Chain A
Amino acid sequence: QVHLVQSGAEVKKPGASVTVSCKASGDSLTDSFIHWVRQAPGQGLEWVGRINPNSGGTYYRQKFQGRVTIIRGTSSTTAYLELSRVTSDDTGVYYCATQQQDGDHFEDWGQGTLVTISS
């Protein structure tokens, strides 16, 4: 099992960029991917993107293309989500989650990071 710890809440103005981190500990991430999923207030879950911590390869949801970047840290146990040109629609809780290479589901989840976009 992988334990994921995310960075703290963020408050940003419209047009700014926001970065959220996700640090993994416990089992090795060698055979895992890290995803980002967001949840707007009172809404459902929305997949944002995924990174392979070993290769750095990424997939992003098309609606975020050009605004989202997911990168890995130097130790490959940390992933970062950067969202640029934010608007009030980007307000919500952002979760990181792991996917094992042999599955399509999200096994372990971070505690969530509240991102508030407000002028």
Chain B
Amino acid sequence: EIVLTQSPATLSLSPGDTATLSCRASQNVTRFLAWYQQKPAQAPRLLIYDASNRAAGIPARFNGSGSATDFTLTISSLEPEDFALYYCQLRNDWPVSWTFGQGTKVEIK
């Protein structure tokens, strides 16, 4: 099973800054990576799928990139509502299962 390692664990930034979140896979990813945002006491929300496609209604300041083992979520010009937890996720081929990274918290500096 592929292990996803997210870094940093916490990112302290100010509104208007750019956030760069990393997700590294323990082996080459043959399927597509997704990113989710989670706010306190809320369910996760899909942001990015297939590594770089924004989900419906997601603002253009959210961008996903990467391939093989290294993936990045970039949030340009942080808005107050962007301070939250972010998780990456992929599907494993064998055993068939789904894996999440441990999360990156984007907090207000």
Contact = CB atoms under 8 A, between A and B. Distances in A.
Contacts of B90: 104
A103 interface: yes
B48 to A, nearest CB: 9
Interface string B31-54: 110101010000111100110000
B55 interface: yes
A61 B97 contact: yes
A37 B99 CA distance: 10
B103 A44 contact: yes
A26 to B, nearest CB: 13
Contacts, number: 60
Interface string A24-51: 0000000000010100000011110010
Task: Say which size band chain A's interface belongs to.
Answer: 20 to 34
B102 interface: yes
Contacts of A46: 100
B95 A62 contact: yes
Given A44-B102, A105-B89, A110 B43 contact: yes
Nearest to B47: A105
A59 B46 contact: no
Contact of A107 (B46, B50, B99, B103): B46
Top 7 nearest A-B pairs (CB, nearest first) are A105-B34, A109-B43, A104-B91, A47-B98, A105-B49, A45-B100, A44-B103
Given A47-B98, A59-B97, 15 more contacts: A1-B56, A44-B100, A44-B101, A45-B36, A45-B87, A45-B89, A59-B95, A62-B97, A103-B49, A104-B31, A104-B49, A105-B46, A106-B46, A106-B89, A107-B55
Interface of B: 31-32, 34, 36, 38, 43-46, 49-50, 55-56, 87, 89-91, 95-103
